[in-house]
C-alpha cells in the first residue's frame, strides 16, 4: 500500500475531509461515500451537517406527496425505476393515472423547477410511464403528466423556512 495523504474533496456542495490511499499506481478518492477500484482504505474523517441533495429531494417529494394526498389523489407507487428512467410519484385521480415529476429549487432566481423539464426529460417520463402501464397491464387507462415545483420559501417571521408548492396538472401532452 502506498502513502496515505489528506485532501479535501468537494461534492454536491459538501466539503469532506478525507483520507485517500494510493496503491499500485492508482489513487482512490472519496466522493460522497463512494470509492473506486475496490479500495478498502478510504476513511471519511468528518463532514458538515448540511443535508445533501438526496435528503432535500426526498423531503421535497414527501411534501409534494402530502400536498397531493390532501387534494384527494391516492398513491399507487413512489420512485418507480425502470431501464427508461424514474418517475417520482404515480398517483390515481379518480380513474386517471397521474405521473408526477417533483422538482426542487432553493430559489427561483434562474427559473422554477417546472421550467427545467425539457423535451428530453419529457421523453424519459413518457417511456417510463409506458413501461409502468405495460407492466401493470393498465394500457387502457387514461393518464396525465403533472409537475410539482417545490421552492424553499421564507416564513412570515423570517426565522423558519417552509416549502412553496406549485402544482401544474397536465403539464405536458403525451
114 and 164 inside one domain: yes
CATH of residue 127's domain is 3.40.1350.10
Residue 9 · residue 45 · CB < 8 Å: no
Helices (H), 21-142: 53-70, 119-135
106 and 27 inside one domain: no
Task: Share the mean pLDDT of the chain.
Answer: 75
111 and 80 inside one domain: yes
58 and 33 inside one domain: no
**Residue-level pLDDT at 110:** 83
36 and 64 inside one domain: no
**Residue-level pLDDT at 66:** 94
78 and 16 inside one domain: no
Residue 162 · residue 149 · CB < 8 Å: no
Number of domains composing the chain: 2
Which range of residues forms the domain containing residue 21?
Answer: 4-47
Rounded to an integer, the average pLDDT of 113-138 is 93
By CB neighbour count within 10 A (0-12 exposed, 13-18 middle, 19+ buried), where does 147 fall? buried
pTM above 0.75, yes or no: no
**Residue-level pLDDT at 155:** 52
pLDDT digits (tens, 9 = 90+) for 1-42: 444 444 444 443 333 434 444 444 333 344 333 444 444 433
26 and 86 inside one domain: no
Residue 146 · residue 171 · CB < 8 Å: yes
88 and 121 inside one domain: yes
124 and 145 inside one domain: yes
59 and 8 inside one domain: no
Amino acid at each position: 500500500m502506498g502513502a496515505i495523504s489528506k485532501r479535501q474533496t468537494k461534492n454536491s456542495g459538501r466539503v469532506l475531509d478525507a483520507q485517500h490511499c494510493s496503491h499500485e499506481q492508482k489513487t482512490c478518492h472519496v466522493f460522497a461515500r463512494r470509492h473506486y477500484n475496490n479500495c478498502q482504505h478510504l476513511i471519511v474523517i468528518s463532514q458538515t451537517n448540511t443535508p445533501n441533495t438526496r435528503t432535500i429531494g426526498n423531503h421535497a417529494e414527501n411534501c409534494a406527496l402530502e400536498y397531493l394526498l390532501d387534494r384527494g389523489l391516492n398513491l399507487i407507487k413512489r420512485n418507480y425505476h425502470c431501464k427508461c428512467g424514474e418517475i417520482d410519484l404515480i398517483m390515481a385521480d379518480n380513474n386517471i393515472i397521474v405521473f408526477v415529476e417533483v422538482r426542487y429549487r432553493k430559489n427561483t432566481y434562474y427559473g422554477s423547477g417546472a421550467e427545467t423539464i425539457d423535451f428530453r426529460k419529457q421523453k424519459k417520463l413518457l417511456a417510463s410511464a409506458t413501461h409502468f402501464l405495460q407492466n401493470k397491464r393498465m394500457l387502457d387507462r387514461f393518464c396525465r403528466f403533472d409537475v410539482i415545483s417545490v421552492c424553499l420559501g421564507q416564513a412570515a417571521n423570517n426565522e423558519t423556512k417552509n416549502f412553496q408548492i406549485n402544482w401544474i396538472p397536465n403539464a405536458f401532452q403525451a
